[in-house]
Each structure stands twice: as C-alpha cells, then as structure tokens.
Amino acid sequence: MISSGKIGFKGTKKGTPYAANRVAELMAQNIQKFKLDKIHVKVKGIGSGRESAVRALATHGANIVSIEDKTPIPHNGCRPPKPRKV
C-alpha cells in the first residue's frame, strides 16, 4: 500500500495534487511490476488530489476499468453540544 504520508509528505501537503501525482506514479510502477492489465480505482476523501491521482494513473499506462467514490457521508452529523447553563 502506498500513501502520500509514506512518501514523506506531512500535514496539509498530503492532500495536494502534487502529492497525489507522486503516489499515482509509484502505484503505476507497482501495477507494471505485478503485470496487472485492468484496475478498479476507489477514491476516498475530498480535495483536488483525487482527480489528479486518477489522471496520473491513466497517463502512466494503467487500464482503469471503474472509478468508485468511497467518501464517507454523514447521515445526520455529530450530536450538537448541550445548551450552556449560566
């Protein structure tokens, strides 16, 4: 498994499109190393890095069969705090 944190990006830099491109390049190398012909991509989270990662995978020769969005969506959110007693 490869992530932007494993490569060396820290904090908010992990969600940048550049970090996503670097991760996608390493993933493409692994795909070629294992001789995979078709891949299914699952994207999770928000930000501009998602789209650039999928584009980088496609440009490096990966045959993308499907793209699935696995971003968690809250149904009703967190419970609000109790009213303040003065």
In tens, the pLDDT along 18-68 reads 999 999 999 999 999 999 889 999 998 887 888 888 999 999 888 999 999
Q: How many domains does the chain have?
A: 1
Domain span holding position 64: 4-69
75 part of a folded domain: no
pLDDT score at 86? 86
Whether 52 is covered by a domain: the verdict is yes
In a domain, 82, yes or no: no
- CATH number, residue 36: 3.30.420.80
pTM above 0.75, yes or no: no
How deeply is 76 buried, as exposed, middle or buried, from its count of CB atoms within 10 A (0-12, 13-18, 19+)?
exposed
* Half-sphere exposure (Cβ direction) of 54: Cα atoms closer than 13 Å: 15
Does some domain include residue 79? Answer: no
